[in-house]
Amino acid sequence: MKIALLLACLSPEEMRLSVYIGYYAAAFCAGVALALLLLSSHQRSFASLPLYASLLLFHPAWTMDVFSGDCGYAKRFFSVAVSLVLVALLMLQVFRPQFSRWRFLVILCAISWASWLVLSLSHALHVPLVIGEGFLGEALQAFVLSSAYILRLALAFSLVCLILWLSTRFYTRRPAV
């Protein structure tokens, strides 16, 4: 792991690379969102539209900066993570269009909490998550440096899931007039 990088971001190249990765991931997400939109119009079902539109609207390429103290590693991690989520949505739309979007959000919430738990246990037990150099080392470093954002994401997913669950409970219990 690059100790100097963790103490202070002295390399503008690292920050520039984080910005480029964010923008390339956003362009990829725009393409996947367009494919989802075309597929939705073909299937005549726009149930997923709010989900992938919000993922594209709040993409880390334009909502996160590289000056937050981690040289943009969190931006890298979340840009790739949003791309993977959109690809998962595309696969669900193609192969399992009847899959519940609420269940998909609950799965994302569980993954967020499990990721945060792994990082918290690693920190509490003083066991560093280190693989080494290369692609896996960089990916793990981005994951570790994103721990504060992962907690916020898990809390946000929990709140959204709770609101959706309460709204469906309220909607189903209303008497028909």
What's the farthest any 2 CA atoms get from each other in the chain? 67
Under 8 Å between Cβ of 37 and 48: no
Q: How confident is the model over 155-173, as a mean pLDDT?
A: 83
Most confident of 37-46, 64-73, 84-93, 138-147: 84-93
| 121-148: pLDDT as tens digits | 887 887 777 666 776 777 777 777 777 7
Quote the pLDDT of residue 87. 93
Q: What is the extent of the structural domain holding 85?
A: 3-173
- Its pTM stands at 0.78
- Residue 17 has, within 13 A of its CA and on its CB side, a CA count of 12
Question: In total, how many domains does the chain have?
Answer: 1
Sign of CA dihedral 80, 15, 139, 134: positive
